[in-house]
Structure 1
């Protein structure tokens, strides 16, 4: 019902539904009625998740309600065979939740190397920003991985559990990207449970990352920050002879923590988390993609820009952003950085440069731009700020993102 509205208009819509005067809602979030009026009328742009979350709490709605998430996944060639409903069905299949109820599987057990390759294919689709493809692949992978866990014993069963955990994490990551926060939490929760059964510290650490992302997506940055502190403390003992994969997973947790701290306006914690991430990245020595982390010095630099924007330090983000060269990172990381830089330029009223960046990002990763909060919010704001007819470029991307009627 509110998909075509800006965030400010959604605030007004839910405020009226709640019967809350502007002065009261403004007071609940420590702001003035004049500020809230400008937010609702589009004269002040809400571009910080921490502020949006405070309004959601005051209105007693989910963060996703104000962000208009989830967005309907488009039917594409990649989506043939089902999209989110098929993945939801797989996650909610009670027969796969308990070995007591699981069907007796006939035939040969799944080949673990083939299963490993399939999990890798799903993760590659995620990092290539082909979310429809990942969403289509994962349900069958979950079924095969569950079958493998039941069919094998000993070390092979532990391997199967590790692969099942990574399949769940892949589901959680892509569902978070397309705004399905509740489903993502279900996948991450199950993934962490089976990861612990696998006794694989790399996999356990990876699932800590996924759960932290889901907490952020569900508007719980304090819980995400605390989980990062607890999980890095748990993993710290393994740093002595840590492999590059272990270092990448450990370092990536601090990057998630930096975003959680930024959404809490905790500058000290942001600096601490980024410093720890940088220390691990320097120890790793280069950019890498071990266990699909895209971790290294460049991803640390990307998060310096993202946290600066979340803290409201627009000039810092605009200065740092162009200095980062993410060309060697997976597509998802490159496009995410481009969108962040576009947000910084837009905040400086450099709309033309910002639009050019969003269009470049769309050409590279149309699905990521279609579903991402930043791109959708920017385009909605630009269209509504137009006094006359929008340019063909702006009107075109607004139509493709379906952010205006």
Structure 2
């Protein structure tokens, strides 16, 4: 290595402070800026980097890693034994209770399970509450532990085969609701346990719609795990689409909708692969399925329906890194007809990504502010939104820095 070469923070041995300095420098962040983002001073950052301060506690390390957009905790600590994917956000206060409910085995039932019809009604109310609430994780997190335990109990106590299949269908959808809560939380292992259990219960139910929902969430989990998992995502969508497609001639709206949602998922993964033609082809096919549904139809799990196709077009364009096209699709989309606060907020985040790609950072910040008004918990746990806010908090424009910093305080990225 030449004297001018930049050290590699991923090669051992390097002290924590050295890794911090290298990663901060590569991000182009000054000590003063990093200190401000941490609610500290530039001299505090210098003391960490030079070793005058000892390695901080885990919560501070996690915060540093998030601010610097480090993808894995070991990249900052140098300890491969503590490899933890980041940008999952801080754990929700109710995560522990949900995890305990998932992990508890109902081997010796201590009470009688509620009827499956009762569980299904509770589940429907939980989905409705999620779509209506700005703080949807808080609402869902409060309902999930008992729903999970009761659904597990219903499967355990089911007698006849039809009753057991019905109970498995409800349990699978409860796991689907749980997956929405666990997504972007700092527990990847829990996410995979829930996704896999949901898929197993769905297959046991032998219900096409239930299988489709579990596959939709499984494909998302694989896709969001990174490029190494794209093939697995495609395998799931392809297999279940092959299973559902022959049923469409006599299918009800829910089966048509989940088939359309899975078709779009195939396009979403194609966009992540930068396969432009394939991505838009799947979007066209999904739009054709949406057109078969009533105009007011809205799938409670996937949000699929006519209203969401404009939002899906924005997502495809953003994933293909087509800034101008994403802005054009955003202008054409009818966001007011999306009857879900978290889904509407997620769409706004996708729009903001497009505006930033298109060189319109002020519009991107305005769009994120509207997303925060609609559903604060959606933006709080979204890595794309936080990345935009942190980048604009370092803008050369003083006015933009102030606006981004104010939004960062609201989201919880900066201390007030």
Scaled to the shorter chain, the TM-score interval is 0.7 to 0.9
- Measure the CA separation in 2 of the matches of 1:325 and 1:180: 35
- Measure the CA separation in 2 of the matches of 1:304 and 1:18: 41
Bigger Rg over Cα:
2
The reply to whether residue 260 of structure 1 matches residue 269 of structure 2 is yes
Q: Which has the higher contact order (CA 8 A, sep 6+)?
A: 1
Change beyond 3 A, Cα 1:126–1:216: farther
User: Structure 1 residue aligned with 2:10, among 17, 21, 25?
Assistant: 17
Q: CA deviation at 1:92?
A: 1.8
- Measure the CA separation in 2 of the matches of 1:293 and 1:356: 26
User: Structure 2 residue aligned with 1:68, among 87, 92, 101?
Assistant: 87
The reply to whether residue 187 of structure 1 matches residue 199 of structure 2 is no
Alignment of 1:385-396 (within 5 A): 385-386=395-396, 388=398, 392-396=402-406
User: Structure 2 residue aligned with 1:270, among 275, 279, 286?
Assistant: 279
Q: CA deviation at 1:177?
A: 4.4
Unaligned runs of 5+ in 2: 1-5, 14-22, 30-70
Bigger shift: 283-292 or 235-244?
Answer: 283-292
Report the counterpart of residue 133 of structure 1 in structure 2: 139
Aligned length: 351
Q: CA deviation at 1:66?
A: 6.5
- Measure the CA separation in 1 of the matches of 2:344 and 2:397: 33
- Measure the CA separation in 2 of the matches of 1:315 and 1:16: 36
TM-score, normalised to structure 2's length? 0.76
Report SS of the residue matched to 1:71: coil
Change beyond 3 A, Cα 1:318–1:327: same
Change beyond 3 A, Cα 1:65–1:399: farther
Q: CA deviation at 1:306?
A: 0.7
Report SS of the residue matched to 1:403: coil
User: Structure 2 residue aligned with 1:348, among 355, 358, 377?
Assistant: 358
Alignment of 1:4-403 (within 5 A): 16-18=9-11, 40-41=27-28, 67-73=86-92, 83-93=94-104, 95-96=105-106, 102-106=107-111, 108-128=112-132, 130-154=136-160, 155-178=162-185, 180-219=187-226, 220-329=229-338, 330-386=340-396, 388=398, 392-403=402-413
Aligned alpha-carbon RMSD (Å):
3.1
Checking the alignment, whether the CA contact within 8 Å between 1:302 and 1:321 is kept in structure 2 is yes
* Residues 154-195 of structure 1, C-alpha deviations (whole Å, 9 max, x = no match): 223222111111001111122114464432221010011011
Unaligned runs of 5+ in 1: 1-11, 21-35, 43-54, 76-82, 97-101
Report SS of the residue matched to 1:363: helix
